[in-house]
Structures are given as structure tokens and as C-alpha cells.
Amino acid sequence: MRNLRLIINREYLARIRNRTFIVMTFLSPLIFVGMILLIAYLSMLNSTEQKIIGIHDDSGIFASEFKDTENVQYLDYSGRDLQEARQEVLSNEYFGLIHISNSGPGEKTQVEFFGKDTPGFGTIENIEKTISDKLTRQQLIEKGIDVSEIDKARAEVNIDIQNFAGERSSKMSNYIKMFFGGAAGYLLMMFIIIYGNMVMRSVIEEKTNRIIEIIVSSVKPIQLLLGKVIGTSLAGITQFAIWVILGTILLFGISSFLGIDPMAAQTPASTVVSQVPKPEINQLVIDILNLPYASLITFFFIYFISGYFLYSAIYAAIGAAVDSETDTQQFMFPIILPLILGIYVGFFSVVENPHGTVSTIFSIIPLTSPIVMLMRIPFGVPWWEILISIVVLIGTNIAVLWLSAKIYRVGILMYGKKPTYKEIYKWLKY
Amino acid sequence: MENLLVAENIYKRFGNFTALNNISINIPRESIFGLLGPNGAGKTTFLRIINQITMPDEGRVYLDGKPLHPDDIAHIGYLPEERGLYKSMKVGEQALYLARLKGLSKAEARERLKFWFRKLNIEDWWDKKIQELSKGMAQKVQFVITVLHRPKLLIFDEPFSGFDPVNANLIKDEILQLKEEGATILFSTHRMESVEELCDYIALIHKSNKLLDGKVSEIKKEYKSNTFEVGLDAVDEATLRHELETNFQVGPARFKSIQDDLKLSIRIQENQNSNDLIQFLLSRARINHFVEVIPSVNDIFIKTVTQNA
């Protein structure tokens, strides 16, 4: 135990004193904040820029339907010759020209758009909707149907979601759960890749420095392995903590200084929120407060730690097996694959159906379960599923740690051989 | 208890390759024991087993009469053949770390380190990083780390490789002094000069097998062939030579001499001794040179290895 503490201590100090580590720790928040501010700034630019679109309407009924908005201004060229209108739009560098050709009754309306650039989805959709709405109304009136009656008959539906225990939730609460789960899963993946790699590099360093044999004559290899994994993860937590603190300070400091609202950068979520009527905001607050924090935090730590340990042990074994970082490539794929798979399953399958077969299976398979289960937990997972998943994960952890320790033991004393999977399999039997 | 370390019937296999085949070795207390053998003989594997870095497939190791225990690492100092230090850590800092891993307290380790650094004249290296030191300098630091916790058993794997002659000599003196202070030393090498100077006992390992072991003086006695080198001044060299050849086994000899002698190597019979030869020679020639041929460890090494090839 005493030695383990000494090793953890050394590994921790070695990591945080590393020049790259220090630079990254203090530079990353700057880069991150800089990027957020840049996006916020750009989106502000984007929204102030006004597009001018010309309309050449042969039928004369659609032009008035296009209402100017904050972003788009429409100019009516209907009275002019089409060729002339096109020329004018081009020479004035307007965004484009809509041409609606006259159609007889029963014929399809032809719409054309001329422009320098292809217009965005939003613009096209807007144009199509305007014309189609008008056309539909027109045809309804032609058929002798009272349009105002249809308008009155339009019903607004807002589903009131409750579980059987009677707790209310809203659509919003699903977004919140997705956000929490997704953030946790993504964080874990980043943590594993960054700090797992660090563990691996530190093993390789000891091998190339030839200090490894001096150390294993004093401590058991498994102690060194554990010390490395723990020391490096502590360094990682330190770095994350500094990032969070610095990031927050910088973000709010700079944004208040420049008068940019950093929340504007997170457009989709925040615009949705701002459009939600009052009672739903109250529900939102209740939803956030109602998240099962105790279990969320508990399971976050369980899955975070065991997931990180699982992967770090594999990273360490790889580090022990090779002589230099260039030899690690062939072993990287099997590590990255389940991580990516976990994230994909999480963002596609869990979001779609948190308790579907795919999500359930991947939240039990040990290499993907930390990420997928972390994403599922906010939606409420039956306790026995969590239990199975944790038991499988911890069981795998022990097995992998044992295997890694064997590979580590042999690998750290092997020099000059480029290992193959076959070779490593043989080491397990030494 | 006469032996500090006893290894009994050690076997170690790596897959189909047998690295150690039934090796038994006794290392007497307060002696210097040389483990000899060509490259790849299995020396390093054996040393790693004693250091509990690898486990033997069969066989036992006893330290001080008790089976080797993980806590015994505190009583062993090991300088591996593949040795290095953390490049970016300061000398003093990592010496402290490694000493504390061996069980020393921080204060104790610092005090002893200061002592050794003063002794080897490397005090001003404390705050340097290893990458600023030369290889030989780094090896001095490693030597200090190996002996710092005053282990009963010191194990050096090829200790002199990488040292310049001055430092090699310095280390040699330190090893002798450590022996006088009561340490038992086991070292492996394939360089024979150092064995001749240092070792009391040797074991020879070749292709995973132990070929011979024992006290150096006894092994030499065993390997001597009752041969003497003589330098003779005779009137009639041809007759003398003929007479000698009828009584003994005679061959040419080469040694340095200021005389223009007849130089011969003469092997006597089992039932004869040196006086018989001297008496025979006295009446026939003047003896300028008379020396018994004692095999060097190098000769024994080469002879045994080629015999078993």
C-alpha cells in the first residue's frame, strides 16, 4: 500500500509537471472559449445580414403572400419583363429571384429560383410553404369550402405525459435527460481516450528509459500498473477541474466584457426554450429538479471509474507490449471501435428508444456499457438491468486487469520485438 | 547458516524454449559470486527469478534459510543489465523515490544519498535532470540507488558494461568494500578479467545448463594439468630435449624472458610432483624459469563451453 501511494504520487506529479500538460491545461479553455465566442459572434453577424429576394409573379396572387422578415426582404418585380428582372437582381447583387409562372386551372404551378448560390434549406422550405399554403387555400375556395371554418377547426394538441406513479413530465424533460446522459457518455469517452493514451505513453516511456526493471525489482508489476492508472486519472481530474473553473470564469468574464451572450451560441436548445409558454418553463424547472440526482451521481461515478479502469488496463498492456508509440497503431483500432460504437448507439438508439433491445444489449456489453448505460440512466433503467450491467462490467474489469497484468509483466521486459497478437497470446501462458 | 542464498533445481521455460534447466546454486555469505556464461545462457533470467521479477516454473529459492518472500526485496539490491532512469526527473528526486520504494523513510534516504553523493563526488548533480548527464554518470547514480538501502544481497548484472576504465575501477573498489562491510555479492558477466580479480566463487551457465560451480581456487586446482613452464640453459639442447621427451610430455612454451632460453612446457605424471621434475632438470641444465601453469578463468570458461558445444 505504501508503495502504491508512492507510485501514485510520482505518476501524478510527473503528469502535471509535464510541459505539454501545463500548456494544454491552460490553453484549452482559452481555445474553447475563443471558439464559443467566435460562433456566437458569427451567428450574430449571420442574423443581422439581410437577404433581398426578388419575386416575379406571373399569376399576381402569390407576391403579396411573401412577408418581409428580419432576415429577408422581398421586392416585387411582377410588372417587369422576366429577363430584365433577372438582370437587375444580378447587377444589384441581391440573393435571388423567384419566378412563379402563370398556370391555368388544373395545371401545376411552376416555380423557379435564380440565384448566385444555392439557397439554404430554410429558405427553400419557406418559399415552398408560402406558395403551397396560398395554393391550397385558393383551391379550397375554388371548391366552395369555407376556409375560416377550417381555421377554427384546427386543434392544438399538447400531450400531458405522466408515469404510472403520477409524476408529470414534458417533452422538454426528455431533452434534458438526453443532454445529461449524452454529456456524461461523451465526457467518459474523451476521458478514456486522452488519459488512457497518457497511461500508455507513460508505460512506453519507462520501457524505453530502461528504468522498468529497476522499479519492478522493488514493487510488483500490478502495483505499478495500478499506480499509473490511478495517478494519471487523478491528473486528469485535476485538469478537468481546472478547465471547468477557468472555462466558466473566462466565458462569463469575456462575454460580459464584450457584451456577447454566450447562450446565443447554443441556438437550437435555447430558441426552443424561449418559445415554450410559461407553464412549460415551470415544468422544465421541476423536471430538472426532479432528476434522480442521487442515483445519477452514484452511477456516474461507478460507470466512469470502472469504464476508465477497463480501458486504461488495456492501454497499459498495449504500452507494455510495444517498444515505441509508432508500434501501437495496430492495437488502437480494437480500443477505439467499442468507444465509437457506444457513442453512436447512445446518440441514435438511446435517444430514439431508451429501453429498446439495441440500447439494452449495448448497456450490458462491458466495453460499451459505461457509455450507453450512462446515457440511459436519466431515462430510468430497472434496477436489475443496472445490476446485471455493473456485475458484468466489474467481472470484465477483474478479468481484463488480470490479463493486462500478465501481458504487462512479460511485455515490460521484452525489447526489440515487434509484437503480434499471436505473440501476446503466448505471453499469457508464461 | 553458511549460505545466504540457495537456489534449488530451478526450471524456467518460455513456451517451447527452456531458459533454465535444473539450476542449483549456493552463494556463501560475505562472498563475491560470479555467474558466468555466454550471451543468452540464461543468467539474466536467473537473476530475475532471485529478484522475484519472474517466477520459476519449478524449484525453490531460499534467502537466509527461509523461502524467498516478496518482502525480501528490501534485503536485495539489484542493478539490472538494462538500466536507465526517468529522463525528465531530477537526479535527487528520483533517487529519493527509488530509495523509498525499497522501504527507506524520506529523511533516511536523503541522508544516505547525501553521503554517497559526497563519496562519489557527484553532489552537484542533485538538481540536474538525467538527460543532462552522460551514460557513465547516470550509471553512478544507478549504482548508488542499488546499494543505498544496505541490502544483504547485492546483484549486479553486467555491472561494468558502459563504464569507462576509471569509473569501472571505482565501482570495483566499492564492491570490494561492500563485501568487507558484510554484503554478499552476486554478479553476472561474460568478461573474465573482472572475475579473476573479484570472485571467490563462480558458476558457469551455458545454454540453460549449469556446467560447473564452486570456489575459484578449487576449480582451478581441478582444471590444472600438472604442467610447468620452464626456461632452461643447456649445453646440448637437442640431447636434453630428447631425454625430457622420453620421461615427460613436452611441448613448446611462450613466455617473456631476458635469456635466450630453451622454453618448454612440461607435463609430469600423476604420481610425480614438481620436485621430481626439478631434480631431473638440476643435473642437466641451469633453470632460469620455473612456473606451474594455472588455468585462468577464461581458459576454463572457453574449455568448458567448447567441450559442451
Q: Smallest CA–CA separation between B173 and chain A, in Å?
A: 23
Q: Smallest CA–CA separation between B160 and chain A, in Å?
A: 17
The confidence score (pLDDT) of residue B61 equals 93
For residue A11, the tally of other CB atoms under 10 A from its CB is 23
If DSSP states are collapsed to H, E and C, what string results for A130-145? HHHHHHHHHHHHHCCC
Domain with CATH 3.40.190.10 in chain A: 49-151
How high does pLDDT run on average in chain B?
88
Q: Do B82 and A3 touch (CB under 8 A)?
A: no
Contact B208, B57 (CB under 8 A): no
The confidence score (pLDDT) of residue B63 equals 92
Instruction: Tell me, yes or no, whether B241 and B266 share the same domain.
Output: yes
- Grouping H, G, I as helix, E, B as strand and the rest as coil, residue B266 is strand
User: For residue range B4-48, what is the model confidence (pLDDT) as tens digits?
Assistant: 999 999 999 887 888 899 999 999 999 999 999 888 888 989 999
CATH class given for the domain over A49-151: alpha beta
Which residue type occupies A72?
Answer: V
Phi, psi at residue A71, to the nearest 5°? -100, -25
Interface residue of A1, A4, A208, A211 to substitute, partner B, most B CBs within 10 Å: A211
* Domain membership flag for residue B67: yes
Instruction: Give, in order, the Cα–Cα distances in Å from A154 to each of A138, A145, A149.
Output: 18, 15, 9
Between the ranges A14-18, A204-208, A390-394, B262-266, where is the mean pLDDT highest?
A: A390-394
pLDDT grade for A430, boundaries at 50, 70 and 90: low
Closest CA to A308 of A247, A246, A234, A255: A234
Complex ipTM tops 0.85 = no
The confidence score (pLDDT) of residue A274 equals 46
User: For residue range B278-298, what is the model confidence (pLDDT) as tens digits?
Assistant: 888 888 888 888 998 888 888
Residue A136 pLDDT > 90:
no
Q: Do A214 and B102 touch (CB under 8 A)?
A: no
Instruction: Tell me, yes or no, whether B231 and B246 share the same domain.
Output: yes
Phi, psi at residue B194, to the nearest 5°? -70, -30
For residue B86, list chain A residues with Cβ-Cβ distance below 8 A: 14, 205-206, 209, 211
Q: Do A209 and B84 touch (CB under 8 A)?
A: yes
The confidence score (pLDDT) of residue B221 equals 87
For residue B2, the tally of other CB atoms under 10 A from its CB is 8
Domain boundary among B193, B221, B249: B221
For residue A3, list chain B residues with Cβ-Cβ distance below 8 A: 101
The confidence score (pLDDT) of residue B31 equals 93
- The CATH code of the domain that includes B208 is 3.40.50.300
User: For residue range A150-166, what is the model confidence (pLDDT) as tens digits?
Assistant: 888 877 776 666 666 55
Q: Smallest CA–CA separation between A412 and chain B, in Å?
A: 11
More confident residue, A330 or A157: A330
Taking residues A35-39, what's their average pLDDT? Answer: 84
Q: Count up the domains in chain B and report the number.
A: 2
* Domain membership flag for residue B111: yes
Q: Do B145 and A214 touch (CB under 8 A)?
A: yes
* Domain membership flag for residue B68: yes
* Integer Cα distance of B17 and A143 in angstroms: 94
Of the candidates B82, B97, B142, the beta carbon closest to that of A415 is on: B82
For residue A209, list chain B residues with Cβ-Cβ distance below 8 A: 84-87
Domain boundary among B172, B197, B221: B221
* Domain membership flag for residue B305: no
Q: Smallest CA–CA separation between B96 and chain A, in Å?
A: 11
Closest residue on chain B to A222 (Cα): B53
The confidence score (pLDDT) of residue B97 equals 93
Helix (H) or strand (E) holding A199: helix A171-209
Q: Smallest CA–CA separation between B5 and chain A, in Å?
A: 17
What is the span of the domain harbouring residue B30? 3-221
Taking residues A302-312, what's their average pLDDT? Answer: 90
Q: B20 CB near a chain A CB, below 8 Å?
A: no
Taking residues A356-381, what's their average pLDDT? Answer: 87
Instruction: Tell me, yes or no, whether B136 and B235 share the same domain.
Output: no
Instruction: Tell me, yes or no, whether B22 and B164 share the same domain.
Output: yes
pLDDT grade for A310, boundaries at 50, 70 and 90: very high
Instruction: Tell me, yes or no, whether B136 and B174 share the same domain.
Output: yes
Q: Do A215 and B101 touch (CB under 8 A)?
A: yes
Instruction: Tell me, yes or no, whether B233 and B98 share the same domain.
Output: no
Instruction: Tell me, yes or no, whether B231 and B211 share the same domain.
Output: no
Instruction: Tell me, yes or no, whether B72 and B165 share the same domain.
Output: yes
* Domain membership flag for residue B301: no
The confidence score (pLDDT) of residue B62 equals 93
Q: Do B98 and A214 touch (CB under 8 A)?
A: yes
Instruction: Tell me, yes or no, whether B125 and B191 share the same domain.
Output: yes
Domain boundary among B221, B256, B284: B221
- The CATH code of the domain that includes B232 is 3.30.70
Helix (H) or strand (E) holding A340: helix A329-344
Q: Do B53 and A217 touch (CB under 8 A)?
A: yes
pLDDT grade for A266, boundaries at 50, 70 and 90: very low
Q: B101 CB near a chain A CB, below 8 Å?
A: yes
* Domain membership flag for residue B171: yes
The confidence score (pLDDT) of residue A273 equals 45
The fraction of chain B above a pLDDT of 90, given in percent, is: 30
If DSSP states are collapsed to H, E and C, what string results for B93-129? HHHHHHHHHCCCCHHHHHHHHHHHHHHCCCHHHCCCE
Q: Which residue's entry shows cell 450490458? A: A364
* Domain membership flag for residue B306: no
The confidence score (pLDDT) of residue A13 equals 92
The fraction of chain A above a pLDDT of 90, given in percent, is: 10
The fraction of chain A above a pLDDT of 70, given in percent, is: 85
Residue A260 pLDDT > 70:
no
